[in-house]
Amino acid sequence: MTPIYPPSADLAVEPKPRLDPAALQSEAALDAHDIALETWGERGWAAVARLCGFYRTMGMKGLDCPAKVRSPI
């Protein structure tokens, strides 16, 4: 059965990953930060897409939601 509402986590603000200044000395740490930042953004847009789909289902007009929400991880 499909839930009636999107997950409550979609309404939680997830802090943006911060770059530790010590990471500037490590290529691997910089790569890890880039990956963390990218997946953070993907999760945020996936939540927006789920909320968009919910409101479209509820009858809100003027929305341009993606056809299918892809999991970022």
Any idea what DSSP says for residue 24?
G
- Summarize pLDDT for 18-59 with one digit per residue, the tens: 999 988 999 999 999 999 999 999 999 999 999 999 999 999
69 pLDDT higher than 80: no
Query: Token pair of 70, please?
Result: 């892809």
CB 19 within 8 A of CB 40: no
Composition of the chain by helix, strand, coil, percent to 5 = 55, 0, 45
Query: Token pair of 40, please?
Result: 């953070």
pTM, rounded to two decimals: 0.76
13 pLDDT higher than 70: yes
CA angle 40, 12, 31 (to 5 degrees): 15
